[in-house]
Amino acid sequence: MRRMMLNGSLVLTAVVTVALCSFSWAQATKAEEDRRLGMESHIGKLTGHAAAAQGTYRRYCVGCHGVLGDGEGENAQWLDPKPRNFTLGIFKCRSTTTGTLPLDSDLFDTIGRGLDSSNMPSWNPLSSQERADLAAYVKHFSARWVTEKPGTPIEIPKKPEVTAERLKAGQEVFQRVECWKCHGPTGMGNGPSAATLTDDQNRPILPYNFHDGNRFKCGTTDEDLYRIFMTGLDGTPMPSWSDNIKPDEAWDLVFYLRTLQPMKSKAKEIARQIGLKPGAPSAAPASAPQQ
């Protein structure tokens, strides 16, 4: 009897403890949420405040990115690629090294630019203050910003002059580091690994096809292109190449990649003049023709 009472009171204590715990847990998350709403972003002279973006986010972003920022908004089921899950703190468009958080200005630029070949629109119609506030709000969803600092931005040396030699060198880099395994021997997105690729959340993903002329997701300038393959697109199979490609070679590669795209460029013009064809560099003749 005494033993049963003891058990009974133990159970009661357990129930009370659990109830108290969940009560204090709820309190903690509310406090945590309030604290995170104090998150700021700093872009040049602008300071963004997460708390100020609550209305804008609910109006323009929630349908895709969800109330909790987990990418599970009501429209998400119809979209491919899926909206970003902000709670993970992992982003494609960064000027920082792979695996690190982006700069506030990276998020700000992404929000203004949108992501081509996806349903993420450009939010340039919003004011820069609103976009800065939204950048802070995007950050407030992930605890990573409480414990980590953004990574170091990669350095981009000044763009050299494009020459025939650089185009050929860029083609060699494309072969050597095996961009073709995914992007295909001529850059059409049909390499031997292309069909099997998945993103970090196990969803199928296709490599970019340089010939279809879509704008890159993370910016369109030569510097953007340099940055895209040197930092990698985190969360996708597109790796960072900063350990395998030297800065000078990276510029060669930028110029060669431009020859694969349909848009006019100086690189494309030179490639035409020298008859550079996409694909493996044509093997030199086994022996010089006899005269």
Q: Where along the sequence are the contacts to ligand HEC (CB under 6 A)?
A: 60-61, 63-65, 75, 79, 81, 83-84, 91-93, 107, 110-111, 115, 117-120, 123, 134, 138, 177-179, 181-183, 193, 197, 205, 207-208, 216-218, 225, 228-229, 233, 236-238, 241, 253, 257
**Least Cβ distance, residue 8 to ligand HEC (angstroms):** 53
Of residues 101 and 179, the one with the C-beta less far from ligand HEC: 179
Residue 168 in tokens: 């050929």
Of residues 44 and 63, the one with the C-beta less far from ligand HEC: 63
Of residues 8 and 247, the one with the C-beta less far from ligand HEC: 247
**Least Cβ distance, residue 63 to ligand HEC (angstroms):** 5
Of residues 72 and 163, the one with the C-beta less far from ligand HEC: 72
Amino acid at 37: L
274 DSSP 8-state letter? H
Instruction: Give the CA dihedral 96, 98, 101, 106, nearest 10 degrees.
Output: 40
Of residues 39 and 225, the one with the C-beta less far from ligand HEC: 225
**Least Cβ distance, residue 286 to ligand HEC (angstroms):** 29
Separation CA 290–CA 237 (nearest Å): 48
Helices (H) and strands (E) in the chain, counts: 11, 2
Residue 37: how many other CB atoms lie within 10 Å: 16
Label residue 162 exposed, middle or buried (CB < 10 Å: 0-12, 13-18, 19+).
buried
**Least Cβ distance, residue 21 to ligand HEC (angstroms):** 35
**Least Cβ distance, residue 234 to ligand HEC (angstroms):** 8
Q: Whose CA is closest to 115, among 258, 200, 236?
A: 236
Of residues 255 and 270, the one with the C-beta less far from ligand HEC: 255
Amino acid at 138: V
